[in-house]
Every structure is written in C-alpha cells, then in structure tokens.
Amino acid sequence: MPPFFKKKKPIKIKSKKQNEKPDEGANVARPIGDSLSDNLELIKQKTGKSTDVIISEFILQTLPGHKAAVIFVEGIADSKNINDFLLESMLNNQAVLEKATQSDTIEFLSEKVLAIAGVKKITDWNDLFLALMAGDTIILVDGSSTGLVASTRGGGEQRSVEEPGSQVTVRGPRDGFTESIRTNTALVRRRIQNPDLWVETMKIGTVTKTDVSIMYIKGIAKEEIVGEVRKRLKSIKIDSILESGYIEQLIEDQALTTFPTLYHTERPDIVAGNVLEGRIAIFVNGTPFVLVAPAFFIQFFQSVEDYYGRADIGTALRFLRILIFFISIIAPATYIAGTTFHQEMIPTQLLIAIAAQRETVPFPAYFEALIMEIAFEILREAGVRMPRAVGSAISIVGALVIGQAAVQAGIVSPAMVIVVAITAIANFATPSFPIAISARLIRFIFMIAAATFGFYGIILGILILVVHLCSLRSFGIPYLTPLAPVIPANLGDTVVRLPLWAQKKRPELTTQGHDLRVGEKQKPEPPKNRDMVNKKAKKGD
C-alpha cells in the first residue's frame, strides 16, 4: 500500500502542473546545478532524448576524475568548428589546464583554451536551452554551476544567394535574400557600410523562439517610429512565428482592408534604399521576405529599376503602372455599365458589333463577366499550385481551348473575353503582388456597383476607395503620404520621379530631416567654353 501511493503522488502532481501551465517552465530562470551527470540527464529529459542532440563527454586529463561535456544540435551547429576549435582545443591544451583547479576550470577554458569567438558564460537553464536550439554549443564541467556557450551556428544545408523570383529586374543587382537571417542582414550591410546601421534582435514565439531583427540607421530614422516598431514586436504573444506574414498580421495598423500597410521584398537593394529613407526593416529567420515599415500607397507602384535608369523613363513607367492598376479594377465594371445602362455613350458601330455578339448569350453582362472572372481566377490558382511542367499547359488549355469553346457555345461573347484578358494582363503587370491581390478583390465590388447603378456606381466606388485610402495609416503615418497630406518637398519621388540630383531631401515624415540627401551643384552641366574644348581636341589631333 505505501509504495503504491509513493509512486502515484509525484506523477499526479507533475501532470497537473504541466497541463495547467505548459509554457511557464521554459520562462522561469532556474540555476544550473554543479553535477554534470544530473545536468546531462535533465537535458536529455527536456529534449526527449532526441537523436539530433549530441552529447560528447570526456575527461580532462589534468584533473583526475574531472569530467566535461559538449552539447550541440546536429544540423544547425557547425560540426567542423566544434571539432577543430572546441574539442581539439580542450584536449590538446592540457599544459594550460594544469594550472587550473576544479573551481576555476571554466575561467581557463573561456579565456585561455577555447580558440573560437563568441564564448560567453551562462548560469540558468533558460539561456542554455535558447542557445542550444539556436545552434550554439554548450560546454559543461563537472563541479561547476556555470556553463559556456560557444557560437557555432551555421551548420546544415542552406540555400545559396540567388536572384529573387518575385521581383525580377532588367537592370540591377542579382542577389536576393535567403532563409538565414544573418545572411540577409549581411547582404544589406554590404551596401550600407556604416556603423550607424543598427540591428536589434529579439525572440518571438513561446514555442518556436524565432529570431526577429529590426534594422535602421541611427540618426536618419525617427526615434518615434523605431520605438513604435519595437513596442509592437515586443507585445506579440503567440506560440509560433513561421514566416514574416505572421509578424505583418500582428503589427499592422488596420486589419479590415485589402491594401497592404507593410511592404515586403526579397531584394537587398530595395531594403537598403528604404532604410536610407528612414524606414525600418524587419527580418524574420526562416523566410527570404523582409518587411519594411512604414509603407505608403505610392510605394507599391515603384520599381527598383526606376532609380537605376533615366528619370523621364521612370516617370512614364510609373504613370503606366497606375493606369494598369485602374484598368485591372474597373475594366469589367466599365463594360457592364456601358452595355447595360449607358448604351448612348458607346459609338454606334461598336454598339452594333457588341449587340450582335451578345445576341446568342443567355446571360446579362454582369453574370457573363462574373462567370469569366471566376473561371480565370480558377485557372490562375490552378496554374500557381500545379507543378511547373504542368502549370504552363493548364494556362494554355484554359485560356485558348476553354475560352474559344465558351465563345462558340454562346456562353460568353468575344468582347467579354477581350475585356477579361486585358484585365488579367493588367493585373499581372502590377509591380507589387499584394497590391495586385487587392485589385483582384476590389474588382468584384466595382462589378456589383456597375451592375446596380451603372457609371454612377463606379464613380461612387472610386470616391469610397479614395476615402478609405485616406483613412489608412502605417505606423501612424498617413497611407497616401506625400499626396495626402501634400508635402511639396517629397513630391519628386511619387508618380513623377525627378532626377537624383533634384531629390535633395529625404521623406519628412519618416526621417529626422536635418541633413540633405544630395549635395549642392550636382546637376550635370556641359563645359562652359565649348570653343576651348574644340581647340584642345584639334591640338590633340
């Protein structure tokens, strides 16, 4: 009877504590014990005796019976550095360890034996498990309640730096971010070699313990915005962060909108350019997409190529992108309003041709457009999800075969196929994927408004859309900045892109605004005395 209760009582109490507060044990700072065997047993229990957690025990020959252990996670720790700079250093530097006693072995190891950078002491289990699961190596010595953490991160296979697939450019760098947070921050540091480029790292996620870093330039970025970003990140309470989209959803100003209020990119040059304008970059370990805050509406129509080429060409392309965005929103709605309510606004010859095409179509223009739009969205989603070898075949079959068959069967008119095709191409031509998705959703709202009120519904929808955009904020800054409110000093990099020598100031609302971006007299000028140049050229001949 007594043995029975002795077994049951501790099991029952432990299970209750684990069920009621499963995460508190990892957050309580408990000191490390001085018994190596007990410490290793606790590590094995905490990690479930996982086979990828390697524990290597050995005896320090200069201290008889004095054991030590090296613990690391295989795959995320660099095994070569562990063997070359940790194990060999401790086993081959016995002459140095001869001067050590059992109480100061840790001091000798950290200061005179270990031939690796980034060695620090730890005294509690929280820091030990955080470092171990991040890829560092733990060194424990029997008789000491202090452990050592050696920086050995970087093991395992990692994707090399490649050209980003989501933001392809004709002119510009070809490197893109990877899934390693330190590789990503290094790619930006190569472009901004300034000690004022600060990086702050924190761990978010009670289970995943994901590394999240913010990067900004001290002295350029506003302290209020940096503090707000830091505050929102530290206030996140969630069990896991698997991608930067988790962070975006938890720190954005407005959730009830289809428009993105944070900008994401996988190009280091875009992040460097935004950081130089006072914005803050948010890096998340495990994803190549970096967030940029705050984000403005006009920013999603700008391409990095605009800054690498001539200003007049960049301005023309920006006008084209904005026109493309409005076409992708209102093209089907305009066709529905014109053919349903406002036939007098269509030229007679074109109206007769459209009426002849729709003579055999059994549906109103709204249902015809709705069928085609839904069918195209299905084909688009199928092309994205299918393997690459099959995706192109799906798009060809859907666009050509099904479209042609639908026209011949009299389900849709040829004019509607043309309108839907132009709308789809315009949506693909939008430079930013998040803003393109917003256009896809808003398009259906405009179609309903056009089918109900005609062109009046479209105009009313545009007014509501503008009011909604004016109400949005990105970290407290108006979304339509610098168009609404109007900031004349920053209008040179909106729809119109002035030459670099004319953009003298950084954005006012995101920077401290006490320094100039471009020096004086940077405008290119021809030689003042052309005759002198010609004379020198003749003398050279």
pLDDT digits (tens, 9 = 90+) for 408-448: 788 888 888 889 889 988 988 888 889 999 999 999 999 99
pLDDT, one tens digit per residue, over 12-35 is: 434 334 344 434 344 446 889 888
Q: How confident is the model at residue 391 (pLDDT cuts 50, 70, 90)?
A: low
Question: How much is the pLDDT for 181?
Answer: 92
Question: How much is the pLDDT for 533?
Answer: 57
pLDDT, one tens digit per residue, over 512-538 is: 765 677 777 778 877 766 555 565 555
- Bridge-based pairing of strands 120-122 and 53-59 is unpaired
Torsions phi, psi of 17, nearest 5?
A: -65, -40
Q: Is 70 exceeded by the pLDDT of residue 259?
A: yes
Question: How much is the pLDDT for 64?
Answer: 54
Q: How confident is the model at residue 5 (pLDDT cuts 50, 70, 90)?
A: very low
Do the Cβ atoms of 468 and 479 come closer than 8 Å?
no
Residue 514 makes CB contacts below 8 A (sequence gap 6+) with none
Torsions phi, psi of 454, nearest 5?
A: 75, -145
- Joined together, the tokens standing for residue 97 give 């360890």
Which amino acid appears at position 453 of this protein? F
Q: What is the pTM of this model?
A: 0.84
Reference 420, options 462, 379, 467; nearest CA is: 379
Q: What is the Cα–Cα distance from 261 to 294, expressed in whole angstroms?
A: 7
- Angle (CA) 84 63 34, round 5°: 90
| Mean local confidence (pLDDT), 380-408 | 72
Q: What is the Cα–Cα distance from 435 to 429, expressed in whole angstroms?
A: 11
Share of the chain above pLDDT 70, in %: 85
Strand partners, 70: 56, 139
Q: Is 70 exceeded by the pLDDT of residue 10?
A: no
Question: How much is the pLDDT for 263?
Answer: 94
Question: How much is the pLDDT for 101?
Answer: 56
